Amino acid sequence: MNISQKNAIITGASSGIGAAFSSAIIEKGGTVYGIARREERLNELKKKLGDRFIPVVLDITDQQKVEQWADVTFSEQHFPDILINNAGLGKFGLIEELSSDDWHNMINVNLNGVFYLTRKIVPLMKANPSHTHIVNIASVAGLMGNPKISGYNATKFGLRGFSEALFKELRFEGIKVSCVFPGSIATEFFERAGSSTHSHMMRPEDVASTVIHLLETPDNFLIDEITMRPLNPKPPEEA
Ligand SMILES: NC(=O)c1ccc[n+]([C@@H]2O[C@H](COP(=O)([O-])OP(=O)(O)OC[C@H]3O[C@@H](n4cnc5c(N)ncnc54)[C@H](OP(=O)(O)O)[C@@H]3O)[C@@H](O)[C@H]2O)c1
């Protein structure tokens, strides 16, 4: 895909890797509909990235609002070309300490929100005469379970299954589906998760450049899954 002139929807654009994806797509000449709840963060990003960054203040767990937004924004005269399902959160802790609210919040954002938006965008992608691409941001936690992250594991394993099924369902419609499994990245994620950071995390811009590579592959070439990690992870003295 040539990203120039394409319309991208990025959830979780207000910080972290979502903001980095927005910047990288705009640099390539695309337009970004950046979805998140924090309006001031989105407006700051618009000041930095310019008019091709369109802030969309939306909670992806509100199905009715997600559907209304998709209905008024896109049509067969104005197609979405790229959807990056990136918004997500982790709440970490022993199973008996994980609250029901945190469990439901992870399922709502990391899975239900992805479903609400994707089911509205896929029909428009099917009608789009050009090739289109859905990128789902999972985690290495979608590939292996670990103590104290059972809820987060459940959502990211779920996202992996969703992605694989969709890739097989949509490939003949000219719609690529890729699932990305990053290890630790330096963002606000760990602060929100109630976990600590370390000094060897990946940089958001490097994750973004890999996603740009996925998007720019030739039309009949799909990278369906990709894992990325810090080469030299958390040093033992920080464990
Ligand atoms: N950081 C890591 O080490 C790491 C590793 C692997 C995978 N990931 C995944 O990468 C994705 C992005 O995380 P990040 O590291 O960039 O962390 P982050 O900076 O905390 O970003 C999370 C984004 O999700 C948005 N969001 C959360 N709930 C939302 C909702 N209900 N509706 C709309 N947007 C919502 C947040 O925006 P608002 O608060 O403004 O709504 C924010 O923009 C997540 O799916 C995460 O699981 C992260």
Positions marked catalytic: 152
CB 16 less than 6 A from any atom of ligand 1: yes
Mean pLDDT, consecutive 10-residue stretches, the chain (239 aa), reads 98 98 98 98 98 98 98 96 98 97 98 98 98 98 98 98 98 98 95 84 97 98 98 74
Question: How is residue 9 written in tokens?
Answer: 């929807």
Question: How is residue 116 written in tokens?
Answer: 């609400």
Euclidean distance between the first and final Cα of the chain, in Å? 41
Q: Which of these, 125, 132, 137, 19, lies nearest to 74 by C-alpha position?
A: 125
CB 49 less than 6 A from any atom of ligand 1: no
pLDDT at 67: 98
Structural domain includes residue 1: no
H or E segment at 22?
helix 16-27
Structural domain includes residue 234: yes
Q: How many domains does the chain have?
A: 1
Distances (CA, A) of 163 to 56, 130, 157, 179, 208: 24, 21, 10, 6, 19
CB 59 less than 6 A from any atom of ligand 1: yes
CB 230 less than 6 A from any atom of ligand 1: no
Structural domain includes residue 2: no
Structural domain includes residue 147: yes
Provide the strand spans (E) within 95-145.
Answer: 132-137
Atom of ligand 1 nearest to the CA of 109: 31
Atom of ligand 1 nearest to the CA of 38: 40
Beta bridge partner(s), residue 202: 185
Q: Which domain holds residue 145?
A: 7-238
Q: Could you tell me the distance, in angstroms and rounded to a whole number, from the CA of residue 172 to the centre of ligand 1?
A: 31
pLDDT at 155: 98
Structural domain includes residue 118: yes
Structural domain includes residue 173: yes
Cross-sheet strand order for the sheet of 132-137: 53-57, 31-36, 7-11, 82-85, 132-137, 175-182, 225-228
Q: Taking the complete model, does pTM exceed 0.85, yes or no?
A: yes
Q: Could you tell me the distance, in angstroms and rounded to a whole number, from the CA of residue 15 to the centre of ligand 1?
A: 7
Q: Could you tell me the distance, in angstroms and rounded to a whole number, from the CA of residue 57 to the centre of ligand 1?
A: 15
Rounded Cα distance between 163 and 170, Å, is: 10
pLDDT at 236: 66
CB 12 less than 6 A from any atom of ligand 1: yes
Beta bridge partner(s), residue 7: 31
Number of Cβ within 10 Å of residue 131's Cβ equals 16
Output DSSP code: residue 185. B
Rounded Cα distance between 13 and 111, Å, is: 17
Contact of 43 with 24, CB cutoff 8 Å? no
Rounded Cα distance between 81 and 10, Å, is: 11
CATH number at residue 100: 3.40.50.720
Atom of ligand 1 nearest to the CA of 20: 16
